[in-house]
Amino acid sequence: MDVFLRAGPRYEGEANNGVTHYLEHLLINPAYFRGAVKKLWGALETQGATLGAWTGKEFLTLRVVAPAEAVEKALDFARAMLESARIRKADVEAERPVILDELMRRRYSAQQVFLIVEEALFRGGYGQPVLGKEATIRELTYKEIKAWAERATAADSVRVVVSGRVEEAAIAGVERFGDLGKGEPLYDEGYVEIAPRFVAIPGDSPRVRLLLAFPGPGMNREDRFAGEVLAYLSGAGLRSQIFQDLRQRSGLAYEAFGGSVHYENAGMLFFNVELARERLLDGFRALIDSVRAIARLRLSSEDTTRAIEGLVMNLLQQTESAQVSRRLGMNWLQDNLFFPSREAMRYRRVTPSDVRGIAEKYLKTEAMAMAAVGVGADELAEMMEVM
């Protein structure tokens, strides 16, 4: 069972960045369970139930995995867990050093590099870190977190997805979420694109990584399907354009792939390559040439069909895994219903002309952003000369 709350950096400002992740810690930590929440969780835990949570750019997910016969109890527990009134000032202060420690540990993790890249490229809330910044975490008050919790757990901000062996009796448990408070939910307006910005993260490794990013369609835009087809053709797998150009034909890259990111209100097409430092400029020149060739791509129906069927296969695989819950919840928070058959049909409507239109519209080097990991200022200046 996944409970999705509409909250995250997309809706946060600079002054309260990280408040959703803070709320995640407070909601999910059994040390802070009291009353009915503690009793319900104790009963579930003895039946082998597990609890998890994570915060994304647009929503906070709380997950309970329990035996099918305990589904009603699990739903009652999740409903009680959302009572924002149970957040206590002492819990806020007790959790603060834990979050600050997580920030410190994340700073030295391999994942941090990609997070830095994403934060550098997106404008607005999407460009803010999920965990927040040290200064804001230190300054967030109990009152601010409680007010945020009331909005994030308002009835219009909550979606519940139950998957597995679900029987009719569970419906009553889901319906009890309908009596959540009717507070003001979190919304924003306007489409967000990536910033045409160049970022260097210095290092002395013999290998460097370049991530090129271009604006792309958001999740709810009709051209998102053609955008995914383009990303698949240009960056996914051994037959992709970027792999063939930089790895197969020239041997300039250790790794070369691409893809796309689609949030409700933002999108990004990207190419990610790893090069040897001594061949950096040659590799970068080949990468830019490859991107420009993709922008002029003339596709056959066979190429397009191959990409579409690959995407449809990935989609159908998701429906047989836990990922289907994420797709259901994410779409539902955006007031859409997710039907795999309808998604597959929309992929199959994409034509070579649609894909060319996306390439011509978005793959423009003047709108490009780039993060160069392991590259110094002088090397970055030389790369700009290539541009």
* pLDDT tens for each residue of 252-311: 999 999 999 999 888 999 999 999 999 999 999 999 999 999 988 788 888 899 999 999
Instruction: Decide if 80 contacts 37 (C-beta within 8 A).
Output: yes
Q: Which residue has the tokens 């952003």?
A: 369
pLDDT value for 108: 63
| Class of the domain covering 2-179 | alpha beta
- CA distance linking residue 273 with residue 277, whole number of Å: 12
Alpha-helical regions (H) of the chain? 19-28, 35-46, 71-81, 89-107, 111-121, 134-139, 142-152, 170-175, 224-235, 241-243, 280-295, 301-319, 323-333, 340-348, 352-362, 377-386
Q: Is the pLDDT of residue 65 over 90?
A: yes
pLDDT value for 84: 67
pLDDT value for 67: 93
- CA distance linking residue 260 with residue 216, whole number of Å: 8
Whole-model pTM over 0.85? yes
CA distances from 203 to 86, 108, 244, 372 (A): 46, 14, 28, 10
> If we measure between CA atoms, which residue out of 382, 370, 368, 381 comes closest to residue 120?
370
Residue 386: band (very low, low, confident or very high) from pLDDT cuts 50, 70, 90: confident
**Fold identical between 2-179 and 198-386?**
yes
Calculate what percentage of the chain has a pLDDT beyond 70: 97
Q: Is the pLDDT of residue 190 over 80?
A: no
Q: Could you state, in order of their start, the residue ranges of all structural domains in the chain?
A: 2-179, 198-386
Mean pLDDT of all residues belonging to the chain:
89
Instruction: Decide if 129 contacts 18 (C-beta within 8 A).
Output: yes
Q: Is the pLDDT of residue 112 over 70?
A: no
- CA distance linking residue 304 with residue 45, whole number of Å: 49
* Least confident residue range of 17-21, 67-71, 128-132, 183-187: 183-187
- CA distance linking residue 7 with residue 333, whole number of Å: 10
Q: Is the pLDDT of residue 315 over 70?
A: yes
Instruction: Extract the tokens encoding 24.
Output: 């995640």
> What per-residue string of b and e applies to 72-107 under the rule 16 or more CB within 10 Å gives b?
bbbbbbbbbbbbbebbeeebbeebeeebeeebeeee
Q: Is the pLDDT of residue 51 over 80?
A: yes
pLDDT value for 115: 75
Half-sphere exposure of 359 (CA within 13 A, CB side): 24
- CA distance linking residue 27 with residue 52, whole number of Å: 10
- Mean pLDDT confidence for 111-138: 83
Q: Is the pLDDT of residue 229 over 90?
A: yes
- CA distance linking residue 134 with residue 18, whole number of Å: 9
Q: Is the pLDDT of residue 237 over 70?
A: yes
Query: How far, rounded to the nearest angstrom, does the alpha carbon of residue 335 sit from its chain's CA centroid?
Result: 18
| Class of the domain covering 198-386 | alpha beta
**What is the 3-class SS of 265-317, one letter each residue?**
CEEEEEEEEEEEHHHHHHHHHHHHHHHHHHHCCCCCHHHHHHHHHHHHHHHHH
